Structure 1
Amino acid sequence: MAVVALAVFAVAYLLIATERINKVKAALGGAAVVVAIGTVGSDDIFYSRETGIDWDVIFLLLGMMVIVGVLRQTGVFEYTAIWAAKRAKGSPLRVMILLALITAVASALLDNVTTVLLIAPVTLLVCDRLAINPVPFLLAEVFASNIGGTATLIGDPPNIIIGSRAGLSFNDFLVHVTPLVVIALAVFLAALPVLFRGSFAVEADRVAEVMSLDEREAIRDVRLLVKCGVVLGAVFAAFIGHSVIHVEPSVVALLGAGVLILISGVERRHYLGSVEWDTLLFFAGLFILVGALVKTGVIGKVAELAGAATGGSPLLAAMAILLVSALLSGVIDNIPYVATMSPVVADLAATVANPVHGQALWWSLAIGADFGGNLTAVGASANVVMLGIAAREGYPISFWEFTRKGAVVTALTVGVAVPYVWLRYFVFG
C-alpha cells in the first residue's frame, strides 16, 4: 500500500507541477484513487487528526473569505490601496516593499492565511491604479507572509502544532525566532529589486493620477465599515488570545462570519462570491493524498531516516532537521509534515543531554518548515490561497513561476537560519 500511495501522490504532484490538468482535478482525482483502492477510508478522511482533512484549516479559510467578502463592500480596500500608493509616492518598488512589510508584520500578529486574504485585494487595486502587473507584488507578499508568520506561535499553523507538542509559549517564539525573522525579512526586502527586476516600470501620468486621489472618498459605507471593524477586532483578539480562551481560530472565524452576515445586511451573492471554492477543494484533496502517505508510513519513514542519519550529534541533528524540513515542507504542505515530524523530534530531543541543544531541534523544525513553505506553490496554505485569488482575478501564476522565485527566497532565508541556529544554540548557547 505504501508504494501505491507514494505512486499516486507522485503522479498527482507531477500533474499539479506541470499543470497538465487543473490542480483541483489533479488533487481530487488522486484522492479518489487512494480512497477507491482502500488506502484510506471515511474514518481516516473525516475524523482522523493524523490522516484526515484538516477541518480547522478549511473552516478558518471559509470564515475569513466570507468576512473579506463583506468587508469588500465598504470600500476599505480601495482606501488602503490609494493610501499605500500615495505614501510610496507612486513608486512600484516602494509600494512592493511597503506592502510586503505590512504583510510580514500582520502575519506575525494574525496568521499568514488571514493576512493574505486581506492584503491581496488591496494589492490588486494598487496595481490596477498604477497599470502594472500585480503578479510580482502578490508573490512578494506571500513570501513575506511565510517569513513573518514564522515569528510567533500563532503566525503559522505549524507553529501551533510545535508549540503544543514541545510546550513552547508565545513568548518563547518571540525570544527565539523573532530575531531571526527580522534578519531574514531584511535580507528578503533587500533582494526584491533583483528578484523582480523589470517589474517596476510605471507611466508618469498614472503616478500623477494616483497622487491626486483622495483616499477618503473611496469609503462607500461608513456604518458597515464600523460593524466590520468591531467584528474583525473581536476575531483578531480571539486569535491572539487562543491560549487563554481555548477556542480554535476556525471556530472564531466562522462565528465572526456568521455575526457579520447577520448584522451587515449584505446580500448573499456578495459574501459568497468571495469564497475560493476551488482552493478549499484543492486543500481537501491534498490533505487526503498526504493522509494516505501518513497512514502507510511513508512520511514517518522518511522522517525517521532523517533522524537516524545524524549519528547522535545534536548539531548535525539540528542542521539535518532544518534543511530536510525546508525541502520536504516545500514539496508537501507544511502542516501535515510538521504533524508527522513532531513525534520524531520529540524522541530525538529526549536523548539530548543539554536542554539548550534539545530545544534547538524544535526551533530548527519550526524555522525549516515555515521558511520551506516558500519553496513551491503547495508548500504552505497561504501560497494556495494567494494563487487561487490571482487566478480568479485573471492573473494565473504557474507552479514553476512560483517555484523559480520561491526557491531563491527559501535559499536566502534558510541560508540566514543555518548560522543563526549554530551560533545561538551551539556556540553561545
Structure 2
Amino acid sequence: MHQEIIAILIFVVVIGAIITEKVHRTAAALAGVVLLLLFGILDVNSAIGYVDFNTIGVLVGMMLFVAVIKHSGLFEYISIKAAKLSHGDPWKIMVAFIVITAICSAFLDNVTTVLLMGPMTITLAKMMKIDPVPILLGQILASNIGGTMTMIGDPPNIMIGSAAGLTFADFLENTGVACVIGLVAMIFAMKFLYKKHLNADAEAVQEIMELDEKKAIVDPLLMKEAIVMIVLIIIAFMVHDKFGIESCAVALTAAAIMMVIGKQDIEEVVMDVEWPTILFFFGLFIVVGGMVETGVIKQLATMIMDLSGGHPIVMMLILLWASAILSAILDNIPFVATLIPLIIAMGKQGMDITPLWWAISLGACLGGNGTQIGASANVVLCGIAGKNGYPISFNEYTKVGFPMMILTVFIAMIFLLVRFAIL
C-alpha cells in the first residue's frame, strides 16, 4: 500500500510542478523518474518498459523530417499562398487550418499533423504580424478532435476497435458524427474568444499580397522531394498496420531518406529536434508507469465501474466524463487498456456494452484537449511555439483547452444519450 501512495505522491508533485511552472516540465518529469527508481517502485528495466518507443520514434522521425524539408522554402510558399487565398483575413486562415488539421489527424498520427502544420502557421503569422497562438491552439484542439473521428486516428480507438470487433464505418457513424458537431461548435467558440484579437497588420497584408510565392522556394529540388515524401508518408500512415509495420518505422524511414537525399547539414538538422520535449515524454511515460505498476490505474478503473451500480446508461455517462477528466492529466493508453478487459467481462455477464465502447473512446480521446500535457500533439506544438518565440504556458493553454474539452465532451454526451437512451 505504501508504494501506491508514494507513486501517487510523485505523480501529483510532478504534475504540480508542471502546472505552477516553477520547474521546467522536462526537469519535473525526469525528477519523478529518479524518485520512482530511488524508492524502488520501478527498476531501470521496468521503467524503460513503460516508455512508448513507438510514440518517441514518431516524434523524433517527424521532427527530423521537418528539420530537413523546412530548408526548401515549402512552408513559406504555402504560407504566402494561404494568405493570398484568404485575402489576408486571419480568421479565414484560422478556420482553414483548423479544418485541414482535423481532417489530416483523422487519418494520420496527430503529432505528424501538427509538426507539418505548426511551422506553416508560425511562418504565416510572422509575415502578417499577428499572434499565432490562437491559431496554434485551434490546431491542437482540432488535432485531438480529428483523431477521435476514426478508428485509426488515435491509439485508444485502435485498441477499442480491435477488442470490440468494431469497423472503420462504426467509428464514423458514432465518434465521427459526434466529433464533426464538436468541431463546428469549437470553431464558433474560438471565433467568440479570438475574433477581436486576430487583426492583421494592413501594411504587412498588402506586402504579402504583392509577393510572388514562387520566389519563396529556396531549393526547388528539395521541395519536390519533400512533397513526394509527404504524400508517401500519408499513404504509409494509412496502411502501415495492414503490413505489420509500426508508425515509428514510417516516420524514421521518412527522416532517414530525407537526411540522405536532402543534402542538409546533419548536425544542424539534429539540433532542430525538440529534445526537451522528447525527454519530457520519456519521463512522463515512466511516471505514469509507476501508477500502473502499483495498481493505482486499475483501482481507478474499478472504482469508476462500481459507481454506476450496473446501470448501462449511468455507466456510459460516468465512463465518458471520468475518461475525459483523467485523460487530461494521464496517458489515456494505459487507462483504456485497463478498462477494456473490465468492459468485456461485463459483456459476458449479459450487459449491453456497445455504449460503453463509444463512451471511453470519446472521453479518452477528447479529454486530451483538457490540459497542455493531455496529448502528445499539445506538448509538441506548444514546444514548437515556445522555440519560435511564442511561449504558451500551462495555465494559458488550460484556460482555453479545458472549457473546449468540456464543450466537446458535453456534445458527445448529448449524442450518446440520443443514440442509446432515446432512440
Identity in percent = 41
What are the Cα deviations for residues 41-73 of structure 1, in whole angstroms up to 9, with x where unaligned?
A: 1231223xxxx1010100111111111111111
Counterparts of 1:270 and 1:162, CA distance in 2: 41
Please say if 1:7 is aligned against 2:5: no
* 1:297 corresponding residue in structure 2: 295
Q: What letter corresponds to residue 16 of structure 2 in structure 1?
A: L
| Equivalent residue number for residue 58 of structure 1 | 56
Would you say 1:215 and 2:213 are equivalent positions?
A: yes
Q: Does 2:344 align with 1:346?
A: yes
* Counterpart in the other structure of 2:385: 390
SS at structure 1 position matched to 2:292: helix
Taking the aligned partners of 2:348 and 2:105, their CA distance within structure 1 comes to 32
What letter is aligned with 2:36? V
CA deviation map 1:320-379 (0-9, x unaligned): 11000110000213233323333333333443444xxx1221111110011110100111
For residue 319 of structure 2, give the secondary structure of its aligned residue in structure 1.
Answer: helix
- Consecutive unaligned residues of structure 1, counting only runs of 5 or more, are none
Whole-angstrom distance in 2 between the partners of 1:193 and 1:266: 40
Matches within 5 A, 1:130-279: 130-279=128-277
Shifted more, 295-304 versus 221-230: the winner is 221-230
Q: Which of 22, 28, 33 is 2:30 aligned to?
A: 28
Listed one character per residue, the Cα deviations across residues 115-135 of structure 1 (whole Å, up to 9, x for unaligned) are: 010011000011101111111
Q: Which runs of 5+ in 2 are unaligned?
A: none
| Cα shift at 1:282 | 0.2
Task: Please state if 1:419 is matched with 2:421.
Answer: no
- Give a deviation string over 1:271-317, Cα, whole Å, max 9, x none: 21331100110001100100000110111101110011111111111
Amino acid at match of 1:403: T
> What's the counterpart of residue 369 of structure 1?
364
1:179 CA displacement: 1.3
Which one of 66, 84, 87 corresponds to residue 86 of structure 1? 84
Tell me the distance in 1 between the aligned counterparts of 2:299 and 2:160.
Answer: 20
Taking the aligned partners of 2:81 and 2:268, their CA distance within structure 1 comes to: 25
Matched AA of 1:273: M
Do 1:330 and 1:373's aligned partners in 2 also have CA atoms closer than 8 Å? yes
The offset of 1:266, in angstroms, is: 1.8
- Give the counterpart letter for 1:26 in structure 2: A
For the pair 1:378 / 2:373, whether they are aligned, the reply is: yes
SS at match of 1:216: helix
Task: Work out whether residues 148 and 365 of structure 2, in 8 Å CA contact, stay in contact via their aligned partners in 1.
Answer: yes
Q: Could you say which residue in structure 2 is the equivalent of 1:67?
A: 65
Structure 1 window deviating more from structure 2 (218-227 vs 118-127): it is: 218-227
Q: SS where residue 177 of structure 1 aligns?
A: helix
2:96 aligns to what? 98
Which of 109, 112, 130 pairs up with 1:111?
A: 109
Does the CA contact (< 8 Å) of 1:374 and 1:409 recur in 2?
yes
Contact 1:130 1:202 in 2 (8 A): yes
Which ranges of 4 or more aligned residues in structure 1 deviate by more than 6 Å? none
Residue type of the alignment partner of 1:284: F
Contact 1:333–1:381 (Cα < 8 Å) also in 2: no
How far apart are the structure 2 equivalents of 1:222 and 1:350? Answer: 60
What's the offset of the Cα at 1:226? 2.2
Q: Which moved more, 1:315-324 or 1:329-338?
A: 329-338
1:294/1:340 contact within 8 Å kept: no
2:43 pairs with 38, 41, 44, which one? 41
Count how many residue pairs are aligned between Structure 1 and Structure 2: 421
Q: Which residue type is aligned with residue 332 of structure 1?
A: L
Distance 2:269 2:169 in 1: 36
**RMSD of Structure 2 on Structure 1 (CA):** 1.5
The secondary structure found in structure 2 opposite 1:196 is helix
**1:203–1:259 CA distance, 2 compared to 1 (3 A):** closer
Moved more, 161-170 or 97-106: 161-170
Mapped contact 1:279–1:388 kept (Cα < 8 A)? yes
After TM superposition, the score normalised by the length of structure 2 is: 0.96
Q: Which amino acid aligns with 1:370?
A: C
Structure 1 residue 170 displacement after superposition: 2.5
- Are the equivalent residues in 2 in contact too, given 1:349–1:361 (CA < 8 A)? no
The answer (yes or no) to whether the contact 2:69–2:223 under 8 Å persists in 1 is: yes
Q: In 2, distance between residues paired with 1:43 and 1:170? A: 36
Q: Which amino acid aligns with 1:361?
A: L
User: Using the alignment, how far apart are the partners of 1:206 and 1:382 within structure 2?
Assistant: 30
Task: Give the whole-Å Cα distance in 2 for the aligned partners of 1:410 and 1:426.
Answer: 23
Deviation at 1:200, TM superposition (A): 1.2
Q: Is the 8 A contact 1:374 1:380 kept in 2?
A: yes
Q: Which amino acid aligns with 2:32?
A: G
- SS of 2:363 mapped into structure 1: helix
Work out whether 1:405 is the aligned partner of 2:400: yes
Aligned partners of 1:131 and 1:202 also within 8 Å: yes
Report if aligned partners of 1:322, 1:364 keep a CA contact under 8 Å in 2. Answer: yes
Equivalent position amino acid for 2:133 in 1: V
Greater CA deviation, 289-298 or 335-344? 335-344
Task: Quote the Cα distance in structure 2 between the aligned partners of 1:204 and 1:229.
Answer: 32
SS in 1 for 2:149: coil
Cα 1:351–1:80 shift into 2, 3 Å: farther
Letter in 1 for 2:13: V
1:204 Cα deviation from its structure 2 partner: 1.5
Q: Does 2:20 correspond to 1:18?
A: yes
Cα offset for 1:197?
A: 4.8
